[in-house]
Chains A and B, each alone.
Chain A
Amino acid sequence: MTVTEQEIADYVARVRGALTDLPPAVRDELTEDLPEHLAVVAAESDGTLVERLGEPEAYASELRTAAGVGAGRRLATGELNAVVDRVRARLNTLDRQLGPPLGYPTVRSFLHLLAPGWWILRGYLAAMLLALLTGGFGGAVGLLPRFEGHLLLGLMILAALVVASVMLGRRKAQLRGWSGRLLVLGNLVLVGFGLVGLVQLDDRRGEGNYYTPISVDSQYDHIRDVFVYDTEGQLVDYARLFDQNGDPIRLGYPDCAAARDVIRRDQINNTNPLLRGYPYCPEAAPFGPRPTVDASPPALPAPPGTVQPDSVASPAVPETAPTTSEPSPVTPEVPETPPTSAPAPGVAPTG
């Protein structure tokens, strides 16, 4: 197995990790030659660095003893350090034991392959967080970063942050002291942010559902069906109602046998019954018969001044055929009070 730069960086990181109780300046001084030394060792012989030099923690301990540093502080926190060392040793053992099932010498070496993926994800998360912060948490957040609604700017910043994150990832080993700690903190923040975002995205899964119930004021409770008439008084078939959010307004329910049949058929065919629209029961229309494809007259008389080919063609409505400027007393469109029965076609109450 050849020793990679990554393995060297790993080894250095673990040696430094075992010396964290020392003042940063002392620690830096103790380990400044280490990367180069490891590179030479790696170049000179086969085998992993651990095989050549022993565990990094042991190396650190030897370094510490030979340099004669940190004994006092080590004693003060000896108990804690002993626990930390034991935990670390156990993790290292686990690392080597779980690696082979994955097809790698250690879990660590496997995770290192995934590191560049994390760098890209980190850049993306940073861009999303930045977009969210500059947007003041106000606007709707999608999957791409937008700055003041500008997607192009968002994509440019996204690209820049991804590149920066990758560069940061490659230089990680050089970050020491507070800057290294800052990086860890930043990573934790972004991971937390990413998890929150993921949960919210998952919550949004139901929002595309057509059946989201819309709360309707109780004054509409008595409504069983909805009939829409156009300006010419024609009953509109398959009308659909939406609120300002584009959510369908559901009023009433299929009350008649015919509608229930249709809905049952829709359910069997797996089509959305809501796409059928209002009215559920056209036969129950309060004004006039349901218009059919043939040239039957409109359910309601057309308001004067409108050219209505049907009316013109129909001989039954001679009074309304001539389009005069004289207003007739006919109440156009939907009357306020429904007639007691459906008016006979063509019988226009012309006074």
Chain B
Amino acid sequence: MDTTQLLKGVLDLAVLAVLREEDGYGYDILRRLRDAGLTEVGDASVYGTLRRLFAAGLLTTYVVPSESGPHRKYYSLNAAGRDQIARSGKLWRSFASTMDTLLDDRGRAA
């Protein structure tokens, strides 16, 4: 099992978490995810995820003129998005702690 496969399940949550700190545009979000340690996240995956979260109504977008180059589309969490990250976050924590316990037990047993 590699990170890519793990990422598939939690990329939504990761993107939402990044956006909870601050609004961002596509490449900016990608960079923040990588800086946070998710180095293997794919460019297309992030853009696709943003698009899907937006379509699901969890994000709002607005366009900011850039000093150089084309205008940038910024994404920000809306109320539904915040609600979603609260629920998903809770789910993840419980899942992660279950996994930790599982691994610790096995680790001790081994």
CB-based contact B26/A37 at 8 Å: yes
Count B interface residues, CB 8 Å. Answer: 19
Contacting B at CB under 8 A, from A32-78, are 32-37, 39-41, 53, 59-60, 62-69
CB-based contact A67/B52 at 8 Å: yes
Q: A36-B27, A68-B52 are in contact. Are A63 and B47 (CB under 8 A)?
A: yes
| A217 beta carbon closer than 8 Å to chain B | no
CB-based contact B43/A33 at 8 Å: no
CB-based contact A60/B69 at 8 Å: no
Find the B residue at minimum CB distance from A65. Answer: B48
Find the A residue at minimum CB distance from B66. Answer: A36
Interface of A is mostly: helix
CB-based contact A67/B69 at 8 Å: no
| A30 beta carbon closer than 8 Å to chain B | yes
Interface of B is mostly: helix
> In the complex, which residues of chain A have a beta carbon less than 8 angstroms from the beta carbon of B52?
66-69
| B14 beta carbon closer than 8 Å to chain A | no
CB-based contact B26/A67 at 8 Å: no
Would you give the shortest CB distance from A259 to chain B, in whole angstroms? Answer: 82
The complex places the Cα of A29 from the Cα of B51 at a distance, in Å, of 8
CB-based contact A66/B47 at 8 Å: yes
| B73 beta carbon closer than 8 Å to chain A | yes
Name 6 interchain pairs, CB-CB below 8 A, sorted by A. A29-B51, A36-B26, A37-B47, A40-B27, A62-B45, A69-B52
Give A residues with C-beta under 8 Å from B.
Answer: 29-30, 32-37, 39-41, 53, 59-60, 62-69
